[in-house]
């Protein structure tokens, strides 16, 4: 069994083949000179041996005022970030941003003042216990910048890490924390996307961190660093992955009442909202949580939730917000109503499109406290903004990373018959192993190695960014994640990917997850003969991937879902009893068979 931090370093891999099509596109406006490795625009700062706060080491100025675009030189060629564009995204000086579960502070510096450090081996004071270090970074060399450093612990020991910062102008939009609409240059604005990234690297779990020594890597800029705290005392009970940034409503002064189904139960609850892929902030005026009676009606008076003691919160672009805990006895395998008021106009939002669950939208006004359903006349078939529900206590969570089969496509609406739902019910009904929460991170049409959605702008495709590009957000940052089940690849081979490309992606997922101390299980790809794209050539690639999954020894265990579902008389097809009718997705019976086949002791 593989446990604990794996190896001594993690390479955060970004493969050129999975870059979104538009990641390097340009507007046709003349560009300034290509940036060079950054040496020219730095302020000399003494670097004592003792670690110092990062802000005391700032030696580069990245942010300029639009009215004074020459007031900063981020890349050594005179280009810089726009203070006005950052403010429009909600990234204001001194703002604490939560991204991928880590709290990072955007530098409290005025435009034109030093606001970041070029990594050159500086010792930085950092404190906390957690599972990862989070760095707010960007590169300025025109390509990814990678370097190695060390993490220092209170007992005097250290551990190495490896950090990759994507380029601020050419890096993948799919993994950015925020993108800004223009870049400042001495000659004025340049209409291209500037990117900033949050990159995490593992640390020894639970050991108190006291410092970090930055890499020596020309062009690697660090704006903030913190320890991502472990989620002790919480179990993830429900989750949904953002599949795109979709047009909605538009909603103005409306209350959304979302229906979600728990896996684990507990005596307390907290909510998580994500403004993933967004360009502007979103404001939640108020929110409540309640047990569901029927439809949009609550079983009792909805319980108010707060955010840092306030009734609502404003979530910056690319960031997330956790509610304060509230006392509510949440049963396992039950429906909750999560209601939140949107006082401003919201024309687009981060959405999980395939909810397979009817939720509701109110008429005008704040109806979060309503127990009755009368104010909610409109049915909603997606889950916007809400991405997680945690319950107090419990043993931790199993994360299912997958595509439409995990998402539950073709299963019965409002019935919670996705295979992770059935697995959760099995766990809740037994006592032989811990009753883990089960977090469904399936996205219909998702792929392992290719983005369906480029990661920026209003989506026309809700297939999400690739599994490799969403792994940090949808697995590592999930509450109390302990085991990963990766069950993906059919969409890749159906659209031309080779078995080698898919297995390389699956290997990266396993290596990165093991480095975070997760147990990793892999499901073999189901047969899809009879579906229009599942040709004999595609089936050959599928079988090659499955042979590799079974034999490679990369995973802690293999869930042979192919063997469970296939027709012994025609192994390229599903058993008719399990087929939903489209030959690609199992129906309710087939999904239940997948969940029933899992040996719970493997989790």
In this predicted model, what pLDDT tens digit does every residue of 543-555 receive, in sequence order? 999 999 999 999 9
d(CA 236, CA 438): 7
% of the chain residues with pLDDT over 90: 91
Query: In 392-517, which residue ranges form alpha helices assigned H by DSSP?
Result: 404-407, 419-428, 467-471, 490-494, 499-515
Residues 6+ apart with CB under 8 A from 319: 90, 97, 98, 99, 177, 274, 275
**Is the per-residue pLDDT at 276 higher than 90?**
yes
- Per-residue model confidence (pLDDT) at position 231: 85
Peptide bond into 461 cis (omega under 30): no
**Averaged pLDDT, 376-389:** 98
% of the chain residues with pLDDT over 70: 92
Please write the tens of the pLDDT for every residue from 338-379: 999 999 999 999 999 999 999 999 999 999 999 999 999 999
Q: Say if CB 518 and CB 483 are below 8 A apart.
A: yes
Task: Name beta bridge partners: 145.
Answer: 165
Q: Say if CB 442 and CB 406 are below 8 A apart.
A: yes
Tell me how far CA of residue 13 lies from CA of 144, 221, 282, in angstroms: 10, 18, 31
User: Residue 57 has which token pair?
Assistant: 């080491």
Please write the tens of the pLDDT for every residue from 217-273: 999 999 999 999 988 899 999 999 999 999 999 999 999 999 999 999 999 999 999
Q: Say if CB 67 and CB 99 are below 8 A apart.
A: no
d(CA 539, CA 476): 31
DSSP 193-245: -EEEEEEEEE--TTSPEEEEEPPEEEEEEEEEEEEEEP-TTEEEEEE----EE
d(CA 292, CA 300): 8
Query: How many residues are given for the chain?
Result: 603
Its pTM stands at 0.91
**Is the per-residue pLDDT at 568 higher than 50?**
yes
536-542 long-range contacts, CB within 8 A, separation 24+: 536/572, 538/493, 538/494, 539/572, 541/493, 541/497, 541/498, 541/499, 541/502, 542/489, 542/490, 542/493, 542/499
Please write the tens of the pLDDT for every residue from 118-156: 999 999 999 999 999 999 999 999 999 999 999 999 999
Pick from 490, 431, 485: which is nearest to 463 by CA? 490
Tell me how far CA of residue 114 lies from CA of 73, 151, 180, 223, in angstroms: 10, 25, 20, 10
User: Residue 602 has which token pair?
Assistant: 């493997």
**Is the per-residue pLDDT at 14 higher than 70?**
no
- Per-residue model confidence (pLDDT) at position 369: 98
Other Cβ atoms less than 10 A from the Cβ of 366: the count is 21
Please write the tens of the pLDDT for every residue from 404-428: 999 999 999 999 999 999 999 999 9
Tell me how far CA of residue 434 lies from CA of 235, 437, 523, 548, 603, in angstroms: 12, 9, 21, 30, 9
CA atoms within 13 A on the CB side of 268: 11
Please write the tens of the pLDDT for every residue from 485-521: 999 999 999 999 999 999 999 999 999 999 999 999 9
Q: Say if CB 357 and CB 413 are below 8 A apart.
A: yes
**Averaged pLDDT, 389-401:** 98
Q: Say if CB 212 and CB 124 are below 8 A apart.
A: yes
d(CA 42, CA 177): 25
Chain mean pLDDT for the chain: 93
**Predicted confidence band at 600 (pLDDT cuts at 50, 70, 90)?**
very high
Residue with tokens 């975070």: 516
Please write the tens of the pLDDT for every residue from 193-223: 999 999 999 999 889 999 999 999 999 999 9
**Reduced to 3 states, what is the DSSP secondary structure of residue 365?**
coil
**Is the per-residue pLDDT at 26 higher than 50?**
no
**Predicted confidence band at 16 (pLDDT cuts at 50, 70, 90)?**
very low
Tell me how far CA of residue 191 lies from CA of 28, 175, 180, 182, 511, in angstroms: 9, 20, 10, 5, 38
**Predicted confidence band at 322 (pLDDT cuts at 50, 70, 90)?**
very high
- Per-residue model confidence (pLDDT) at position 496: 97
User: Residue 263 has which token pair?
Assistant: 């896996």
**Is the per-residue pLDDT at 6 higher than 70?**
no
**Is the per-residue pLDDT at 52 higher than 50?**
yes
- Per-residue model confidence (pLDDT) at position 24: 32
CA atoms within 13 A on the CB side of 119: 30
**Is the per-residue pLDDT at 90 higher than 70?**
yes
- Per-residue model confidence (pLDDT) at position 232: 85
- Per-residue model confidence (pLDDT) at position 43: 42
């Amino acid at each position: 069994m593989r446990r604990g931090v794996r190896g001594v370093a993690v390479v955060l891999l970004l493969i050129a083949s999975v870059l979104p099509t538009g990641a390097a596109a340009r507007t046709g406006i003349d560009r300034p000179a290509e940036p060079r490795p950054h040496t020219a625009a730095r302020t000399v700062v003494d670097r004592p041996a003792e670690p110092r706060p990062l802000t005391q080491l700032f030696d580069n100025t990245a942010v300029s005022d639009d009215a004074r675009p020459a007031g900063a030189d981020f890349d050594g060629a005179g280009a810089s970030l726009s203070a006005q564009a950052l403010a429009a995204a909600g990234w204001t000086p001194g703002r604490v941003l939560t991204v991928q579960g880590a709290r990072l502070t955007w530098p409290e510096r005025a435009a034109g003042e030093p606001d970041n450090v070029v990594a050159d081996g500086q010792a930085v004071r950092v404190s906390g216990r957690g599972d990862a270090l989070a760095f707010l970074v960007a590169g300025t060399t025109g390509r990814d910048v990678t370097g190695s450093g060390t993490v220092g612990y209170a007992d005097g020991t250290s551990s190495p890490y490896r950090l990759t910062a994507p380029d601020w102008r050419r890096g993948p939009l799919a993994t950015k924390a925020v993108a800004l609409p223009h870049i400042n240059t001495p000659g004025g604005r340049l209409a291209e996307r500037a990117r900033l990234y949050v990159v995490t690297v593992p640390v020894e779990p639970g050991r108190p961190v006291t410092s970090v020594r930055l890499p020596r890597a020309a062009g690697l800029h660090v704006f903030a660093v913190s320890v991502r705290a472990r989620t002790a005392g919480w179990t993830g009970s429900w989750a949904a992955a953002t599949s795109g940034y979709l047009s909605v409503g538009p909603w103005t002064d409306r209350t959304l009442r979302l229906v979600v189904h728990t896996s684990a139960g507990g005596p307390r609850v907290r909510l998580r909202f994500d403004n993933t892929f967004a360009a502007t902030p979103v404001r939640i005026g108020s929110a409540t949580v309640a047990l569901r009676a029927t439809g949009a009606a609550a079983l009792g008076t909805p319980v108010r939730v707060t955010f840092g003691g306030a009734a609502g919160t404003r979530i910056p672009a690319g960031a997330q917000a956790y509610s304060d805990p509230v006392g509510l006895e949440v049963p396992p395998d039950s429906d909750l109503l999560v209601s939140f008021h949107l006082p401003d106009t919201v024309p687009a939002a981060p959405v999980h499109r395939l909810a397979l669950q009817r939720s509701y939208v109110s008429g005008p006004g704040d109806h979060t406290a309503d127990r009755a359903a009368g104010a909610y006349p409109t049915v909603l078939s997606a889950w916007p903004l809400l991405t997680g529900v945690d319950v107090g206590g419990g043993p931790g969570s199993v994360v299912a990373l997958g595509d439409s089969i995990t998402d539950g496509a073709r299963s019965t609406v409002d019935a919670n018959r996705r295979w992770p739902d059935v697995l959760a019910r099995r766990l809740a009904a037994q006592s032989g192993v811990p009753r883990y929460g089960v977090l469904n991170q399936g996205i219909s049409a998702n792929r392992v190695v290719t983005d369906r959605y480029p990661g920026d702008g209003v989506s026309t495709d809700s297939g999400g960014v690739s599994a490799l590009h969403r792994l940090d957000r949808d697995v590592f940052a999930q509450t109390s994640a302990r085991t990963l089940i990766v069950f993906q690849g059919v969409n890749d081979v159906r659209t031309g990917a080779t078995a080698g490309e898919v297995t390389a992606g699956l290997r990266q997922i396993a290596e990165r997850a093991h480095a975070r101390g997760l147990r990793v299980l892999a499901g073999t790809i189901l047969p899809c003969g009879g579906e229009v794209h599942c040709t004999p050539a595609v089936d050959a690639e599928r079988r090659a991937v499955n042979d590799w999954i079974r034999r490679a020894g990369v995973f802690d265990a293999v869930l042979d879902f192919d063997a469970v579902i296939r027709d012994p008389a025609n192994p390229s097809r599903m058993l008719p009893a399990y087929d939903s009718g489209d030959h690609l997705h199992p129906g309710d019976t087939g999904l239940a068979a997948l969940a029933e086949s899992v040996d719970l002791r493997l989790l």
